[in-house]
Chains A and B, each alone.
Chain A
């Protein structure tokens, strides 16, 4: 098992945001985590990337305990987190935002190669490479945020609601790209989504989180077929 979370509990002050959560995501798996607002999805991702310290439990990544490591250390171990809300820096150009993703590698040549790779995945970014990020559309910003994460050559990609505020057609495109990247780069992906149906359709594994607890974990298709999940999260 590549990512192994067991009995993880996280508090915001006195409030328990995540309680006794255990998840195992094998290498090369795209796991979709769904659940309503306030279910603790974002908190879980922030804990995995080192932005938040848990109260209890353990996180194993490739056989190593990673609790207590800072985000900058976790990036170097292959964990890239695209945080909620098109996480790009508007004041920087597209190229600079991308370079940022590879900055810790301190290798200009590799960085250039990675930019070419990202530009081939997202041709729109290639065309706008010199523009400031605040001139991009919402969809392009999300592509840039994912592109920045790819620049770090990650093995585990944590994506927080990439579909947020995007037009349906763009959402479909982003989801398809995430699916393709998972396969082509042999990534392990934990995708947090409000768009439950869209996320489960591309995922291998489905996880349902409610009020900080796991209520279902199964093959994504099995969750889509599960009447209880359908009624509560898929709306039909």
Chain B
């Protein structure tokens, strides 16, 4: 039963990391920027979700509110900050890294602003269903209705995303702009807007990750919440495992990371909570610096 438990916990956490990784990959593919503020933007979106939950008392309304809020914030960040920085930092020693450093600054700004608006204390978001484990043959699992719901919702969202990417013109424009911006422009695609759209999608995806990370954890939200630090680190590691360029890679990276962390905590030591993700990251960078799915073949999705 321990084995099953560990597996299910790992998979659930993994889907949330995968969402975060997807949002980092979406941003990377749109603008070639590693967005360290992604978790900060997810935090802000989750605060929007919190406002909706407390007013409307429905998690299922709060989730799209958080997603729309996250999409708008991300789109604004891209239009106001990133677009200018990418255009202007073309020479000198910080060319290329300027937008990345800017996202680090943005992370700090978002945290401070959140603390100013919502205060430093823990706010509570109540999940849509119970997080008490299922009971099978008088044994209570850690796996709960909430975790099942998260699992299903994330899988549905991933399915929707993959349909958007593979079957629609918007998806084609997103992929073309990522792979070959010049050919995309010559085909009549307004690449600047497609980039903004990529960020918006990333913001919405990150918002879902933030909401679920909060309710899947202890249900509380604060500007310097450990859950969000973990989300930043894990999303980033999962994206790197996936090669940073591949959506499928991000999903697999998230699941692999979730499972690895879950098994290490269960069978090695629960004291390794904060070190395990980093050890996994370093090991993978040593073995395959391009990421496990960093090969060209994985750039399909």
Q: Are A100 and B176 in contact (CB under 8 A)?
A: yes
B187 touches A91 (CB 8 A): no
Q: How far is the CA of A210 from the CA of B176 in the complex (A)?
A: 35
The 4 tightest CB contacts between A and B, nearest first, are: A104-B188, A75-B188, A71-B185, A100-B187
Q: A88-B183, A99-B172 are in contact. List 9 more A-B contacts (CB 8 A).
A: A71-B186, A87-B186, A89-B175, A89-B176, A96-B175, A100-B176, A100-B184, A103-B188, A104-B188
Query: Contacting B175 at CB < 8 Å: which of A75, A80, A91, A101?
Result: A91
Residues of B within 8 A of A (CB): 169, 172-173, 175-176, 179-180, 182-191, 296, 299-300
Q: Who on chain B is nearest to A106 by CB?
A: B169
Decide: A103 and B186 in contact? CB cutoff 8 A: no
Q: For the complex, what is the distance from the CA of A81 to the CA of B187, rounded to whole Å?
A: 9
| Chain B nearest Cβ from A74, distance in angstroms | 9
A-B contact pairs, 12 of them (CB 8 A): A80-B186, A81-B186, A83-B186, A87-B186, A89-B179, A90-B179, A99-B169, A99-B172, A100-B176, A100-B189, A103-B176, A103-B188
Interface residue A49 (Cβ < 8 Å from any Cβ of B): yes
Residue of A nearest to B188 (CB): A104
State whether A101 touches B187 (Cβ < 8 A).
yes
Q: How far is the CB of B186 from chain A (nearest CB, A)?
A: 5
* Residues in A whose Cβ lies below 8 Å from that of B186: 49, 51, 71, 75, 80-81, 83, 87
- For A101, what are the chain B residues with a Cβ–Cβ distance below 8 Å? 187
Residue of B nearest to A49 (CB): B186
Q: A91-B175, A92-B175 are in contact. Are A103 and B182 (CB under 8 A)?
A: no
A22 to chain B, nearest CB (A): 25
Which of A51, A70, A152 is B187 in contact with, Cβ under 8 Å? A152
B175 and A72 within 8 A (CB): no
B190 engages A72 (CB within 8 Å): yes
Task: Say whether, besides A92-B175, A92-B176, A100-B176, A83 and B183 are in contact (CB < 8 Å).
Answer: yes
Set of chain A residues within 8 Å of B183, measured between Cβ atoms: 83, 87-89, 100
A148 at the A/B interface (Cβ < 8 Å)? yes
State whether A104 and B189 are in contact (beta carbons under 8 Å apart), knowing that A51-B182, A87-B183 are contacts in the complex.
yes
* Contact (Cβ within 8 A) B189 A91: no
In the complex, which residues of chain A have a beta carbon less than 8 angstroms from the beta carbon of B176? 89, 92, 100, 103
